[in-house]
Amino acid sequence: MAESGAVLAADIGGTKIAAGVVEPGGRLVTWTQVPTPRDGDAEQLWRALESVLDQVLNVAKISDLADLAGLGCGCGGPIEWPAGLVSPLNIPGWRAFPLRDRLADRYPGIPVRVHNDAICMAAGEHWRGAGRGWRNVLGMVVSTGVGGGLILDNRLIVGASGNAGHIGHVVVDPEDGPVCVCGGRGCLEAIASGLTLAAWAQAEGWRPGQPGMTAKDLAGDAAQGHPVGRAAMRRAGRALGIAIASATNLCDLQVVSVGGGLSQAGALLFDPLQEALAAHARLDFAREVRVVPAALGQSAGLVGAAALVLAGERYWTGD
Ligand code: ADP
Ligand code: ZN
């Protein structure tokens, strides 16, 4: 293992599996991604991950794993941590899948660290992004699902089981909200995730009879002025703002960094978010919070996964 080497990083979500190589300073030098095999079984998912990891090693011309400082991996939650058994809500093919052990077997001789994808994103944004220099930061991944990770008083918070920060399952509408994939009702994720947002829009008459439409298409239509698209983005933004106001009141946050695929919708999502936040974060300390798009953009998850190794003294307390 090379103390000063680069890190092989992976970021596994319900839509895409990304891999990259991150330099010790935090620069992502090469990356690639593949779609997460829909309805893939455990081994198909594993092969997709293996293929992107091998691909970036090839492109970066790393043939000897000993040149790496380690491997960091973020995966959708929940997760048994630090053992790294993963059961991502939006990847049904993996239930208690031993991701950390499988990675350690396949890429031997280097430290392998696995965390929740949004915890990685929060670490990345705190280390090298919008949260840099701030002591109290929430990082959010608004993507296929909705995840979060907390840095409080400059420390990454893992909670009792490694699952702290799951803001996607904070309840924002218990009466009229939809049933959530977690089994609850009215969770943020049931309203503001890419999957649930597209489903809601279709139920409201958006692009009837066109299967396979995603939140990306919906955001595109909203940008063109489609009324259902605009309503969907408002609904999601509002739910995000309400949840962020609650989190801010609870944790006295300074910065909330919002990343993930859906965050690319920009003002369509952020304007209603800020409006709902202003309506619900009323106490003087809470009004100070700044909600911003992830400074590392779509690479925050990979940079954060690498930070588990490259800045392990700050972001890894697992073993
Ligand atoms: P994952 O959930 O696998 O981590 P992403 O972070 O890429 O993947 O998020 C995927 C979600 O983001 C999908 O629902 C997709 O439709 C949506 N998305 C991707 N690009 C955009 C975009 N430009 N605008 C709005 N939504 C987008
Ligand atoms: Zn839920």
What digits encode the pLDDT tens for the residues 71-89?
A: 999 999 999 999 999 999 9
* Ligand 1 nearest-atom number relative to CA 143: 9
Q: Residue 175's pLDDT is what?
A: 95
Residue from 119, 214, 257, 296 to probe ligand 1 pocket by mutation (most atoms less than 8 Å from CB)? 214
Q: Residue 123's pLDDT is what?
A: 98
Compute the distance between CA of residue 13 and CA of residue 203 in angstroms, rounded to an integer.
25
Using the structure block, give the residue that is written with the tokens 């993996």: 94
Ligand number nearest CA of 196 is 1
Give the burial class of 3: count Cβ atoms within 10 A of its Cβ; 0-12 exposed, 13-18 middle, 19 or more buried: exposed
Q: Which residue's CA is the closest to the ligand 1 atom numbered 5?
A: 261
Q: Residue 101's pLDDT is what?
A: 98
Cβ–ligand 1 distance for 216 under 6 Å, the answer yes
Cβ–ligand 1 distance for 15 under 6 Å, the answer yes
Q: Residue 211's pLDDT is what?
A: 87
Ligand number nearest CA of 264 is 1
| Cα–ligand 1 centroid distance for 194 (angstroms) | 6
Residues (pLDDT < 70) of the chain are 1-3
Using the structure block, give the residue that is written with the tokens 């330099």: 23
Q: Could you say which DSSP state residue 146 is in?
A: E
Q: Report whether 6 contacts 24 (CB < 8 A).
A: yes
Q: Which residues surround ligand 2, an ion (CB under 5 A)?
A: 169, 180, 182, 184, 187
Q: Residue 38's pLDDT is what?
A: 86
Q: Residue 1's pLDDT is what?
A: 60
Q: Report whether 213 contacts 239 (CB < 8 A).
A: no
Ligand number nearest CA of 179 is 2
Cβ–ligand 1 distance for 265 under 6 Å, the answer yes
Q: Residue 143's pLDDT is what?
A: 98
